[in-house]
Copies of this chain bind each other. A is one copy, B any other.
Amino acid sequence: MSTAERAEGAAWDEVTPDAARRLLVAAVEAFAERGYHATTTRDIAGRAGMSPAALYIHYKTKEELLHRISAIGHGKALRILESAADGPGTASERLAEAVRTFVVWHAGRHMTARVVQYELDALGAEHRAEIIQLRRKCDAAVRRILGDGVQSGEFDVPDVSGTTLAVLSLCIDVARWFNVAGRRTPDEVGELYADLVLRMVARNQQ
């Protein structure tokens, strides 16, 4: 079991039974490395130490595997953003917390995040529609913080919805470039990004 597998696999203990979880963890790894369409069901089963047929005992199709990963992953991402948005503190504090924890998740669980954020198009129509609902809620959480900050006078944001888009986009893209072998830890990237985002919305003092 690789380091990445150990670090990211621990998060899936809500998936039972054990064989189903092992398959799901293997799928996350494979989808993240090669992409959904370039991954074969034989590859997933092989990584989980099973025969190709074993996959179909626990999941109806390869697409159902992706959907399960995407739904659980988006659920976690949404919980991170909402608990920051609806938590205590000033708008600045809540925005910094939201960006920090969201970025730490995208960097620390960058395999999961890569699948969650970049393989949406591979989902079937109904599953995709369901996931897009979750995305809208993520957007709403960030927008709420920005709106609060504008109202309280902490922030100067001429275009709230555009800036919401930019903040989320900035955080999400961490999953694409983050490299475990790189110089930065997830916490360091989180700190850097929280600072950059606060600067983006801060009232201009000059």
**Size of chain A's interface in residues, with CB distance under 8 A?**
33
A173 near B169 with CB under 8 A, answer yes
* Choice from B162, B173, B192 contacting A184 with Cβ under 8 Å: B162
Total identical chains: 2
The answer to whether A115 has its CB under 8 Å from any CB of chain B is: no
Inter-chain CA distance A79–B193, complex, in Å, is: 28
* Choice from B34, B159, B163, B170 contacting A166 with Cβ under 8 Å: B170
Stretch at the interface among A10-18, A88-96, A123-131, A198-206: A198-206
Inter-chain CA distance A112–B22, complex, in Å, is: 37
The answer to whether A174 has its CB under 8 Å from any CB of chain B is: yes
Inter-chain CA distance A172–B166, complex, in Å, is: 11
With a 10 A CB-CB cut-off, give which of A37, A193, A199 has the most chain B CB atoms.
A199
Q: How far is the CB of A4 from chain B (nearest CB, A)?
A: 16
Inter-chain CA distance A38–B63, complex, in Å, is: 14
Inter-chain CA distance A159–B206, complex, in Å, is: 23
Q: How far is the CB of A114 from chain B (nearest CB, A)?
A: 11
A192 near B118 with CB under 8 A, answer no
Counting from the closest, the 3 A-B pairs by CB-CB distance are A37-B37, A205-B205, A37-B38
25 contacts between A and B (CB under 8 A): A34-B121, A35-B35, A35-B122, A37-B37, A37-B38, A38-B122, A162-B184, A162-B189, A162-B192, A163-B192, A166-B170, A166-B192, A166-B193, A166-B196, A169-B170, A169-B173, A169-B174, A169-B177, A199-B199, A199-B200, A199-B201, A199-B202, A199-B204, A204-B205, A205-B205
